[in-house]
Amino acid sequence: MTYPELPVKLSAMKESNMENTRIGFIGAGNMATALIGGLCNSGFAGDQLYVSDPDESKLQPLTDTFQLHRCASNQALLEQCQVVVLAVKPQAMHAVVDKLQIGNNERLYLSIAAGISTDRLRTWFGRDVALVRAMPNTPALVQSGAAGLYANATVSPAQKQIAENIMSAVGLALWVETESQLDAVTALSGSGPAYFFYMMEAMEQAGLELGLARDLVHALTVQTALGTAKLAQTATEDPSQLRKRVTSPGGTTEAAINHLQSKNGLNIMKQAVLAANRRSEELAKELE
């Protein structure tokens, strides 16, 4: 499988006509800020970006840093843009969408709100619109994210490419075949950073108990996690084979792995991801 370069290159934007595309962000929270920063760092012009948010304290840093357009209302933003990123909290989405007078039916809407289905959004819009749902994760804040995307039938190939380019500006962006698979993406990569932080937390606690200084423990743990991810990203083997390659018979690594296996560690981690998937499905139903 071939993955896109990280971050997306300006040439890819030109191929998809993004250099002529005006993109608006309804909501100026952390993920919107990350996407705006990723687009600008990839060469996208700030004067083609628009943002609206009722919180003035979120808008000022964005306009100061990226020289984008600040809109007085969501409707004013809508009337300027061919692409609108819905970057509001799931609980606020209905109220935001319900007030929009969408007019032009050729606009692309990209929702990064968890749990709100395209069918539900279509109901709130009151008509068929081009909708893409994206499930990003927090490493997007440092342009190292992973996102799953799903497009409804109204999205054109060109719009699909634009949505992919926007999400690729902050990391990896991959399409799922069915919308229900976004629950699995949520469980795997959406919640995934917490799983690795949990492991890092345990490693740091062990290092401290073994007498290492706190700053040394933290630096070694973080660098080990970073290096391991890079090895996994560039290797042709799967993780189980990579693990075996660094597990010498009778050595220290084998002692650690044997202990984890005696506690059924692999299954515990798998069951944790499945629990996250079940909760994602439940939350979607609650939001519906």
Do 55 and 81 contact (CB within 8 A), yes or no?
A: no
pLDDT at 28: 96
pLDDT at 224: 98
In the numeric block, which tokens belong to residue 255?
């002692």
pLDDT at 285: 87
User: What CATH number belongs to 10-182?
Assistant: 3.40.50.720
pLDDT at 286: 87
Measure the CA–CA gap between 117 and 132, rounded to whole angstroms: 10
Measure the CA–CA gap between 150 and 93, rounded to whole angstroms: 18
Query: pTM for this one?
Result: 0.89
pLDDT at 17: 61
The CATH homologous superfamily to which domain 192-285 belongs is ProC C-terminal domain-like (1.10.3730.10)
Domain boundaries, the chain: 10-182, 192-285
Residue-by-residue pLDDT tens, the chain, 288 positions:
344 444 444 445 545 567 789 999 999 999 999 999 999 998 899 999 999 999 989 998 898 899 899 999 999 999 999 999 999 999 999 999 999 999 867 899 999 999 999 999 999 999 999 999 999 999 999 999 999 999 999 999 999 999 999 999 999 999 999 999 999 999 999 999 999 999 999 999 999 999 999 999 999 999 999 999 999 999 999 999 999 999 999 999 999 999 999 999 999 999 999 999 999 999 888 877
Q: Is the dihedral of CA 261, 266, 269, 272 positive or negative?
A: negative
